[in-house]
Amino acid sequence: MEELSREELARVLDFYKELGIESVYIDDVKDEPMGNLLSRQEKQRALEDLMKDGIGDCRRCRLSETRTNIVFGEGDPDCEIMFIGEGPGADEDMQGRPFVGRAGQVLTSLINKMGFEREEVYIANIVKCRPPDNRNPHSDEAESCLPFLKRQIEVISPKVIMVMGNVALQNLLDPDMRITKVRGKFQDLFGIKVMPTFHPSYLMRNPKDKWLTWEDAVTVLKFLGRDVVHDPGRG
C-alpha cells in the first residue's frame, strides 16, 4: 500500500468515521500511539472536545462538591514532554490552572532549566478537582478521573511523561511502585516513555534531593537528544 503522511491518514480515518466505521486495523502503525497521526490543530480540537463534551461540568466524583474550578491541564498539545502531578491545590482551584502555586514555581523552574518554557510542555494532574484540605485523592476519585487524563495522553502522545510523586506514579502505572525505588528509571505507558521523579512539593520540603530530580531530567533530555545547558551547581 502507498505510504500516507500523518495528515493524509488522519483524513482517511475521518472519512471512514463518516461512513460509520468506528475502528480499522492498520498493520504498519498498530504500535503507534494514536496522537502521532494527528496535527497540532487536530490535537487542540480533540482536547477542546474532551474539555467541553467529555468533562463539561463533571460530577462523576465527590470532589465536584468542593471544587471552585476544574483544572483541565494546559500547554502545547503537540509537546515532547508532559508533566503529571497529583491534583490541584488552593491556588490551582482558584485559577483553574495546574501548578501555579509554590510547587508550581518549583516545577516551572525545572522546566526552564531543562530548556523549555511552560507553554512548550503540557502539565496535568491525576484528578482535575481539588481534594479538600490538600489530602491525597481517594482511589475511587482517581479512578473516576483517570479516563480523562488517559485520553489527554493518547491525544498528545508525548515522547516522554515525567510522573511526579507516588500518587501520580501509583495511579498511572502500578499501585505497588514507589518513587524512591523507581525514580530515574524509564517505565512504559501505552508505548510512551515514563520517567518517575519526585513531586515538587516533596522538593520544597527536601531541597537536598533537588539534584536527584535534575539527574532524572538529564536522563530525559538525553533521550530526547537535547543539549543539557543548565549547570546544577548554579542552583
Nearer to ligand SF4 by C-beta: 45 or 138? 138
Kindly state the smallest distance separating residue 48's Cβ from ligand SF4, in Å: 16
Cell, residue 207: 531541597
Nearer to ligand SF4 by C-beta: 63 or 161? 63
Which residues are at the interface with ligand SF4 (CB under 6 A)? Answer: 55, 58-61, 63-64, 70, 127-129, 141, 144-145
Kindly state the smallest distance separating residue 55's Cβ from ligand SF4, in Å: 6
Helix (H) or strand (E) holding 85: strand 81-85
**Are the C-beta atoms of 223 and 160 separated by less than 8 Å?**
yes
Kindly state the smallest distance separating residue 127's Cβ from ligand SF4, in Å: 4
Nearer to ligand SF4 by C-beta: 59 or 181? 59
Three-state DSSP string of 123-190 = EEECCCCCCHHHCCCCHHHHHHHHHHHHHHHHHHCCCEEEEECHHHHHHHCCCCCCHHHHCCCCEEEC
Kindly state the smallest distance separating residue 58's Cβ from ligand SF4, in Å: 3
Kindly state the smallest distance separating residue 151's Cβ from ligand SF4, in Å: 12
Q: Which residue has the cell 483517570?
A: 146
Q: Which residue has the cell 467541553?
A: 52
Nearer to ligand SF4 by C-beta: 100 or 110? 100
Kindly state the smallest distance separating residue 70's Cβ from ligand SF4, in Å: 5
Kindly state the smallest distance separating residue 235's Cβ from ligand SF4, in Å: 35
Nearer to ligand SF4 by C-beta: 6 or 60? 60
What is the spatial distance between Cα 141 and Cα 126, in angstroms, rounded to a whole number?
9
Q: How far from 191 is each of 33, 34, 153, 160, 186, CA to CA, in Å?
A: 7, 11, 11, 10, 11
**Pairing of β 122-125 and β 187-189:** unpaired
Nearer to ligand SF4 by C-beta: 93 or 216? 93
What DSSP state is assigned to residue 54?
I
Phi, psi of 123 (to 5 degrees): -120, 130
Nearer to ligand SF4 by C-beta: 63 or 221? 63
